């Protein structure tokens, strides 16, 4: 227990100070420390050895060799046991980070893709058992793959045992949620608390007939917001986190974390108490299971992200999703204009060195067109017209569009909408197949590889969405399934096509061309300029269709030039002599050139 005591002693004073400042509840703090000690004692020798190795190598997740993939267990393989049999496929791609979409017990069929959780300690029976999960994590570790699971911090399903006890009238469990007997407090919240999905009913609160109370439901009526003002909630949630860690989970993606603290008169987002809680969670993990790291889901502007990393002395999340770059990559592709993308990259690259990102093109969710409207206006771009152009371009309605997608949460009053679709369909593969147009297919594949190349060059590491590595298309048949038809995100939540995957080995096929392109991209990341301490910046040029980025590390330099146009482009970089480049560089359509 010496290592436990040493770790706890490093953090005890700060942990106690923050907990007591937030809750002023010594008994709850004692309960928390008892749960931490019990979790450490229950941790296996193999996982404790991993803890020691990660403490000795804290940059393990920042290396150029990191390669991520995200997927739904059922769509990829059926269940956890069958997924374990597919590890050779992941190893073939040098995957080192596997994010499985929510797999904890959930109501069926409506569960917001698993983000309505009934039991934070138990795998959903449709996917397997806790034993299956532990077996899988053991096999992943042996293969050099770290497992990431979602941990939904903000809410539970309304069928969670806490919610069921609350509905039955138990005041102890009603205090686990934000419940009110009349509209007085809800109406006060509504004055300053915006809706996540504007224009949808019933607002931020839902009336529960059984309990005769209004319940805060920020996301969906069947997802009840937890009350983190109650220390019992934090202690219970931490206990579940540590339970997952002891099953071998190495990365916890804390979902919707900016929303977890509510205060009247505020937006109930990004409040200081959120950071107090995340900082405490970071310290708790460092005490009990330092091999486990935190990835935050923070869908906010770059200027709001730095706070979620904390400081080098008092860190919070280890890494965040790079939502801003994902959105701006798609915007740049449709507009053939990288100026907004460059501006966002400049903001992100200016964040402190310890800030780290998971970069991606597509995930389980939609593309929300949350661009920097002030920067758009500065560049002479009308924000509303540009947003409407983008979602109409990517649903294929705009003249000349190559994309095939669908709208999500379209609001005719505000003109707001998001976009759904797989990377291949949004990049033109589906349209090229429909038209039997080989030239259009060439351009579509070049778009896919261009976007992945640019994302991979950014600070952080690249995470693929399962199926994108073989050019998987939209699943339009979801319209025929009454359980899925009301959510257009199911367009890109498609079952993995193993028949198409087999074509990755056949030269000249769509699957082989994308696969080989991504293989070359992984080889590039072995360059010294993808080391954990590499500096990444953009580079100015005279052609807005071309994005220029520079990586530097240990006296070495790597320049990446990315043509976001279907036409050849020439770019003259600012002060090219500094880089030792020619005055002008010409790029083929959608070319990514490394110099």
370 and 484 fall within a common domain = yes
CATH number, domain containing residue 563: 2.60.40.1180
Phi and psi dihedrals of 336, rounded to 5?
55, 35
Q: From residue 28, how far is each of 78, 274, 282 by CA, in Å?
A: 41, 18, 18
Residues 162-187: pLDDT tens digits?
999 999 999 999 999 999 999 999 99
Quote the CA–CA distance of 339 and 543 in Å, as a whole number: 9
CATH code of 192's domain: 3.90.400.10
Mutual orientation of helices 231-246 and 272-288 as an angle, nearest 10°? 40
For the cut 90, the answer to whether the pLDDT of residue 30 exceeds it is yes
Q: What is the pTM of this model?
A: 0.96
Rounded CA-CA distance 329/450 in Å is 10
**pLDDT for the residue numbered 563:** 98
Whether residue 557 is found in the same domain as residue 518:
no
- Give the domain extent around 360: 322-533
How do residues 360-380 score in pLDDT, each as one tens digit? Answer: 999 999 999 999 999 999 999
479: which 2 tokens?
A: 């319209």
Average pLDDT of the residues in 119-133: 98
Q: Tell me the per-residue pLDDT of 301-323, one tens digit each, with 9 for 90 and over.
A: 777 888 999 999 999 999 999 99
DSSP lists the bridge partners of residue 407 as: 419
Q: Of 299, 318, 337, which marks where a domain is finished?
A: 318
Q: What is the DSSP letter of 472?
A: P
What is the C-alpha separation between 318 and 324, in angstroms, rounded?
Answer: 18
**In terms of domains, do 382 and 406 share one?**
yes
pLDDT above 70: residue 200? no
481 is known as an active-site residue: no
pLDDT of residue 583: 72
Q: Which of 318, 345, 367 is the last residue of a domain?
A: 318
Same-domain check for residues 142 and 28:
yes
Which position among 255, 286, 337, 416 bears the catalytic label? 255
Q: Which two tokens stand for residue 2?
A: 């010496």
**Residues 255 and 120 reside in one and the same domain:** yes
Question: pLDDT for 518-570, tens place per residue?
Answer: 999 999 999 999 999 999 999 988 999 999 999 999 999 999 999 999 999 99
List 51, 118, 132, 297, catalytic entry: 297
Report the number of distinct structural domains present in the chain.
Answer: 4
Q: How far is CA 424 from CA 384, 429, 444, 514, in A?
A: 26, 5, 7, 10
Q: Do 135 and 25 belong to one domain?
A: yes
Give pLDDT tens digits for 418-460. Answer: 999 999 999 999 999 999 999 999 999 999 999 999 999 999 9
- Does the annotation mark 591 as catalytic? no
Quickly state the pLDDT bin for 94 (edges 50, 70, 90). very high
Largest pairwise CA distance in the chain: 74
182, 251: one domain: no
R_g of the chain, CA atoms, integer Å? 24
What is the average pLDDT across 378-390? Answer: 97
pLDDT at 580: 64
Per-residue model confidence as pLDDT tens digits over 47-90 = 999 999 999 999 999 999 999 999 999 999 999 999 999 999 99
> Tokens 């929303």 appear where?
259
Same structural domain, 460 and 578: no
- Specify whether the CB–CB gap between 75 and 466 falls below 8 A: yes
Q: How many CA atoms lie within 13 A of 366 on its CB side?
A: 22
Cβ atoms of 549 and 342 closer than 8 Å: no
Q: Same domain, yes or no, for 260 and 117?
A: yes
Instruction: Answer yes or no: do 312 and 166 share one domain.
Output: no
Residue 248 burial by Cβ neighbours in a 10 Å radius (0-12, 13-18, 19+): buried
The SS3 of residue 177 is: strand
* Digit-coded pLDDT (tens) for 320-335: 999 999 999 999 999 9
User: Given 489, 515, 533, which residue is the final one in a domain?
Assistant: 533
**Considering only 272-281, 361-370, 539-548, 571-580, which range has the smallest mean pLDDT?**
571-580
Q: Say yes or no to pLDDT of 226 above 60.
A: yes
Query: What tokens appear for 462 in the block?
Result: 């690249």
Per-residue tokens: 394: 């990517």
420 within 8 A of 449, measured Cβ to Cβ: no
What CATH number corresponds to the domain at position 285? 3.20.20.80
Q: What is the pLDDT of residue 311?
A: 94
pLDDT of 203: 76
Residues 313 and 394 in one domain: no
Give the model's pLDDT for residue 14.
98
Q: Are residues 550 and 519 in the same domain?
A: no
Give the model's pLDDT for residue 199: 56
């Amino acid at each position: 227990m010496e290592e436990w005591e040493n770790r706890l002693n490093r953090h005890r004073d700060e942990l106690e100070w923050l907990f007591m400042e937030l809750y002023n509840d010594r008994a709850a703090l004692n309960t928390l420390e008892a749960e931490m000690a019990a979790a450490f004692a229950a941790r296996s020798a193999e996982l404790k050895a991993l803890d020691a190795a990660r403490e000795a190598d804290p940059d393990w997740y920042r290396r150029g060799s990191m390669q991520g993939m995200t997927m739904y267990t059922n769509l990829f393989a059926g269940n956890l046991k069958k997924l374990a049999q597919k590890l050779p496929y992941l190893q073939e791609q040098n995957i080192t980070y596997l994010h499985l979409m929510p797999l904890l017990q959930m109501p069926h069929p409506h569960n917001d893709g698993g983000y309505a959780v009934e039991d934070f300690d138990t795998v959903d029976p449709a996917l397997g058992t806790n034993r299956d999960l532990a077996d899988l994590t053991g096999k992943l570790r042996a293969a050099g793959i770290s497992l990431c699971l979602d941990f939904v911090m903000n809410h539970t399903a309304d069928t969670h045992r806490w919610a069921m006890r609350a509905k039955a009238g138990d005041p102890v469990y009603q205090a686990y949620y934000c419940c009110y007997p009349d509209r007085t407090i809800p109406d006060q919240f509504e004055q300053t608390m915006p809706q996540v999905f504007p224009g949808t009913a019933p607002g931020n609160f839902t009336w529960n007939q059984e309990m005769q109370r209004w319940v805060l439901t920020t996301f969906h009526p069947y997802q009840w917001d937890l009350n983190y003002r109650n220390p019992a909630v934090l202690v219970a949630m931490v206990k579940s986190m540590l339970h997952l860690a002891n099953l071998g989970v190495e990365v916890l993606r804390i979902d919707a974390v900016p929303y977890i603290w509510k205060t009247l008169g505020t937006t109930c987002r990004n409040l200081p108490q959120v950071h107090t809680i995340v900082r405490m969670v970071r310290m708790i993990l460092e005490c009990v299971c330092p091999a486990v790291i935190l990835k935050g889901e923070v869908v906010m502007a770059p200027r709001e992200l730095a706070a979620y990393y904390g400081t080098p002395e008092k860190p919070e999340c280890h890494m965040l999703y790079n939502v801003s770059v994902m959105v701006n990559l798609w915007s740049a592709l449709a507009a053939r204009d990288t100026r907004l993308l460059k501006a966002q990259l400049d903001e992100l690259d200016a964040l402190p060195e310890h800030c780290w990102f998971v970069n991606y093109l597509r995930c389980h969710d939609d593309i929300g067109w949350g661009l920097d409207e002030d920067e758009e206006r500065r560049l002479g771009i009308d924000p509303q017209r540009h947003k409407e152009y983008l979602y109409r371009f990517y649903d294929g309605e705009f003249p000349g569009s190559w994309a095939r997608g669908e709208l999500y949460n379209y609001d005719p009053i505000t003109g707001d909408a998001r976009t759904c679709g797989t990377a291949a369909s949004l990049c033109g593969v589906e349209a090229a197949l429909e038209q039997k147009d080989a030239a259009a297919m060439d351009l579509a594949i070049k778009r896919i590889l261009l976007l992945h190349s640019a994302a991979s060059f950014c600070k952080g590491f690249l995470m693929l969405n399962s199926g994108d590595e073989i050019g998987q298309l939209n699943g339009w048949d979801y319209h025929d399934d009454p359980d899925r038809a009301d959510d257009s995100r199911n367009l890109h939540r498609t079952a993995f096509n193993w028949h198409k995957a087999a074509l990755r080995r056949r030269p000249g096929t769509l699957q082989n061309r994308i696969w080989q392109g991504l293989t070359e991209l992984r080889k590039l990341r072995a360059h010294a300029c993808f080391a954990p301490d590499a500096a990444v910046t953009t580079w100015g040029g005279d052609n807005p269709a071309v994005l220029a980025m520079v990586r530097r590390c240990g006296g070495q330099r790597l320049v990446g030039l990315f043509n976001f146009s279907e036409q050849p482009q020439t770019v003259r970089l600012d002060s090219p002599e500094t880089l030792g480049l020619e005055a002008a560089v010409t790029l083929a359509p959608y070319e990514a050139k490394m110099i």
